[in-house]
Structure 1
Amino acid sequence: MARLVDIRRSIFAQIVLWAIAIAAIITGCLWLLTDTTIRSTSRTALERAVEVDLAGMVDIYASGGRDELARRIQDRLALQPRDGHTAHYMLADKANHRIAGNFDTWPGLHAATSESADIISPDGVRAHGRAMQLSPDLKLVVAHEDRDIGPLRRQVAFVYGAGGLLAVMAVALAGWLAVFRLGTRIERINAAFRHPDNQALARLEKGSHDRDEIDELTRHSADALARLRRLAGAQRETTDQLAHEMRTPLMHLDNRLVKALSATPDAETAARIADARQEIRRIVRMLESLLDIAASQARRGDRHGLCPVDLSALADRLGELYADSAEESGHTLKLDIAPGVVVEGEEMQLTRLITNLLDNAFKFVPAGGTVELRLKPGPCLTVCDDGPGVPEAERERVFDKFARGSEPGSQDGAGLGLALCRAIAERHQLEIALLPSARGACFMVAPQAGRRATTDRLHG
């Protein structure tokens, strides 16, 4: 089943959010453009009305004289249009004394230059007026009040707001449907990579029909995973066969040496045969470790076959087992195991991980030393000791295969124990690290983020 889309990580969800934001911005810009157009048109119409009214007054003066003009001004003031701009007039002499009109004082416009500007009407309302010099001793001003376009602007804003909201909702709905569909298809690919089993591959191949780029990616992913499974299977089959072919003659050789020992040879020959048998067992153990490392690395990230493992119970059992041998060898084993720590894994491999770390610690810690096994939720597994530690020059390669240190006792093994620990940890999506310590060595196994947080807590 597809997981819920994580907005912070999904590129499709981010595209939808950007589309919603762009739709909202475009709607806002269109409303702003329309509002500006309405105000500009209203202003142009106001100025045009003043110009037309003034031109009519000039014609009346030219044809009828000053008295006719004064009478017409009073008529117009008495008959104001209901659906137009309210008009105001003033006919004055050169001393600014009113002859006709409803202005008490000259509004301050320069008539000689036919100045036009916004003024305050006799009603106290903002108006646009223009003055005209009709004769040396006569001048006229015509002003129209600015029409209130607030209701119209609010209606337009409501229309754009409602339309924009519907557009954003439509984009969001269509976008989220597309995100869910694309997210489901991408999740099918990711699920197949996380758990590349037969069912995941079957679902992947079923969803590929070469309709678009996602289907093409699905088909290529299915082909790649199928090839990887075939290669991994062939590799495991080859390594298993190789192990069998190499183990069999070695065990036959060991049996012959046993028979040779049963023939009661002399002491020197018996000692040499015993050394040869020990070398054979060392080679077999090294071969098995190499095969385990290869198998763990081949299955890195593959969750198939993992099941819940009570790591606390496993660590307790191993701790009790090693406590007895530690007492016999003169060591002290301290246990600090938190209960209820459960992980998804393979119990046999996790057992080898812990035993290899404990074996490595007891190997280098002299008698009288202390080894501590700790397990905290996370999981966070640490094995620390107060032995000689790992020299600074060897810390970088301590997890490499066949890496053996310069300390006494480090040349006894094949140098594969810690390499196997790292391979097992990576198989379980964990990380193993050698932590800085004032004395001895301290190895920690934890998820990468958990290891960093724990390291900061230990050394912060």
Structure 2
Amino acid sequence: MSRLFVIRHSIFAQIVLWAIATAAVITFGLWVLTNATIQRTNRQALERAVDVDLAGMVDIYASGDEHELAKRIEDRLALQPRDGDPAHYLLADAQGNRIAGDLKTWPGLHAGVSEAANLKIDGTDHAFARSTQLSPNLRLLVAHEYRDLSLLLRQVALVFLTGGVLAVLAVALGGWMAAHRLAGRLERINAAFRQPDDAALEELARGSAGRDEIDELTSHSGNALSRLKRLAAAHRETTDHVAHEMRTPLMHLDNRLVKALAATPDAETASRIADARTEIRGIIRMLESLLDIAASEARRGDRHGLSPVDMSVLTARLGELYADSAEDSGHRLQLDIEPDVVIDGEEMQLTRLVTNLLDNAFKFVPSGGTVRLKLRRGPRLVVSDDGPGIPEDQRESIFEKFSRGGSRVGTEGAGLGLALCRAIAERHHLEITLVPTGKGACFTVTPEFKR
């Protein structure tokens, strides 16, 4: 099924199919044209034969008399050509009474104007006939049967069928070879976009010796990807350096505050120092979250570093850890985990995704509430609760940076948890969604929908 889907959506497969269809239509059209030409040529030849035969009879009558013409007609009927078109004659008087010939009745043709028409001989055989007026009391009709072309037409149809099949096969083979070659060349570009490692980019940038449009596109794509990779690396290096430069003095400041707190007997001063330390740690966590979000967004679609991760084991382990803390905080945690759910990903990032969703649920659900963690194949991860839920006016912006959802007092944060969840999900080709429910909040993580 998947291979059929690929074939249907491959432009090269569509071109080959169109070429095959075009070759078949052209072959059929040529056969129809040839068939019509053969039948038209046969009719024209038959008409000429009747006209020549009729003219000869008129000359015989002009140089002899009625008896001579009747005798010649009988001679013609007695000496019918074995392989030619059978001829029929009727010499009749003005009332249509037969004088000579093998036809018994006058067919109704107007002899005065040499009328011609198709006739049926003996009820089955078709013939072309022409009449003429020899004298006021004498008229003549000459008819030749149509030659049986069924055998010839069958032979022509067989020739066209054989030629059409060979032409279709030749077009299909040639088109498939050309399409396969083009698809292979474009696949190098697609592979480099999917997995832009240095070796693939270097080979892509060199292009090939042909230097046609595909080679030029390949070379430009390789150079562009190399530049983007260098820019991304420089950006990551800069952000890491900035983060390090910011984190280090903050940590030093926190250490100084620890020492000041230990040496300060004043309770009010100690409380303010503790609040300052909390603010510093919040800034550090916010900085680390922003860096994680930026790193995940930058690596979206990059398959490097991904390996099979057993999500069943991962979520079960996290569920056990959170179950203990849930009891201490007066919450209930319900687990519904299907075994052997495995996806390609980074275990640390997926762990961060699940823990952020669980932290978010426990943070907003009051004591006595229930949090549910569900995992199904697909994968389909669901974290739901029976808390106050997400206000209607915040549901559109809940995944944006610095968006703080919920209304419970004391749950303020930097507003980066769900933004990080979305970045991690997109890194793994997953999609996180807030599902409307009657009570509480429900977040689902499923494979992203390809539009």
- Range class of TM-score, shorter chain: over 0.9
Deviation string, structure 1 residues 362-420 (Cα, Å, up to 9, x no partner): 00000000000111111111110000000110000001111113502365211111111
Question: Which region of structure 1 is more displaced relative to structure 2, 19-28 or 113-122?
Answer: 113-122
Distance, in Å, in 1 between the alignment partners of 2:24 and 2:98 is 55
Aligned partner of 2:90 in structure 1 is 90
Distance, in Å, in 1 between the alignment partners of 2:97 and 2:286 is 120
Aligned partner of 1:191 in structure 2 is 191
Deviation at 1:5, TM superposition (A): 9.1
Q: Name the SS for the 2:373 alignment partner.
A: strand
Aligned partner of 2:21 in structure 1 is 21
Aligned partner of 1:53 in structure 2 is 53
Distance, in Å, in 1 between the alignment partners of 2:49 and 2:191 is 72
Matches within 5 A, 1:398-437: 398-405=398-405, 407-409=407-409, 412-437=412-437
Distance, in Å, in 2 between the alignment partners of 1:10 and 1:219 is 23
Kindly tell me: are residues 303 and 124 of structure 1, through their superposed partners in 2, closer, same or farther at Cα, counting changes over 3 Å?
A: closer
Q: Name the SS for the 1:6 alignment partner.
A: helix
Aligned partner of 1:201 in structure 2 is 201
Deviation at 1:208, TM superposition (A): 3.6
Letter in structure 2 aligned against 1:440: G
Deviation string, structure 1 residues 287-333 (Cα, Å, up to 9, x no partner): 10011011111111111011111111111111110100000000000
Kindly tell me: are residues 122 and 382 of structure 1, through their superposed partners in 2, closer, same or farther at Cα, counting changes over 3 Å?
A: closer
Aligned partner of 2:250 in structure 1 is 250
Distance, in Å, in 1 between the alignment partners of 2:344 and 2:171 is 42
Letter in structure 2 aligned against 1:61: Y
Contact (CA 8 Å) 2:389, 2:406: kept in 1 or not? no
Deviation at 1:4, TM superposition (A): 9.5
Distance, in Å, in 2 between the alignment partners of 1:131 and 1:120 is 15
Contact (CA 8 Å) 2:434, 2:443: kept in 1 or not? yes
TM-score by length of 1: 0.94
Distance, in Å, in 2 between the alignment partners of 1:123 and 1:444 is 81
Distance, in Å, in 1 between the alignment partners of 2:161 and 2:128 is 32
Letter in structure 1 aligned against 2:143: A
Matches within 5 A, 1:25-424: 25-122=25-122, 124-205=124-205, 207-209=207-209, 211-405=211-405, 407-409=407-409, 412-424=412-424
TM-score by length of 2: 0.96
Letter in structure 1 aligned against 2:347: E
Letter in structure 1 aligned against 2:394: E
Q: What's the RMSD between the two structures over aligned residues?
A: 1.7
Q: Name the SS for the 1:309 alignment partner.
A: strand
Identity, % of aligned positions: 69
Instruction: Give unmatched runs, 5+ long, in structure 2.
Output: none
Distance, in Å, in 2 between the alignment partners of 1:289 and 1:409 is 23
Question: Which region of structure 1 is more displaced relative to structure 2, 255-264 or 199-208?
Answer: 199-208
Deviation at 1:206, TM superposition (A): 5.1
Distance, in Å, in 1 between the alignment partners of 2:168 and 2:247 is 70
Distance, in Å, in 1 between the alignment partners of 2:412 and 2:291 is 20
Question: Which region of structure 1 is more displaced relative to structure 2, 183-192 or 123-132?
Answer: 123-132
Letter in structure 2 aligned against 1:435: V
Deviation at 1:96, TM superposition (A): 2.1
Q: Name the SS for the 1:256 alignment partner.
A: helix
Kindly tell me: are residues 328 and 57 of structure 1, through their superposed partners in 2, closer, same or farther at Cα, counting changes over 3 Å?
A: same
Q: Name the SS for the 2:128 alignment partner.
A: strand
Contact (CA 8 Å) 1:372, 1:384: kept in 2 or not? yes
Letter in structure 1 aligned against 2:255: N
Aligned partner of 1:457 in structure 2 is none
Q: Name the SS for the 1:106 alignment partner.
A: coil
Deviation string, structure 1 residues 310-364 (Cα, Å, up to 9, x no partner): 1111111111101000000000000011111111111111111111111100000
Aligned partner of 1:458 in structure 2 is none
Q: Name the SS for the 2:211 alignment partner.
A: coil
Aligned partner of 1:456 in structure 2 is none
Instruction: Give unmatched runs, 5+ long, in structure 1.
Output: 453-460
Kindly tell me: are residues 384 and 5 of structure 1, through their superposed partners in 2, closer, same or farther at Cα, counting changes over 3 Å?
A: closer
Deviation at 1:124, TM superposition (A): 4.7
Q: Name the SS for the 1:7 alignment partner.
A: helix
Q: Name the SS for the 1:41 alignment partner.
A: helix
Deviation at 1:110, TM superposition (A): 2.0
Letter in structure 2 aligned against 1:297: E
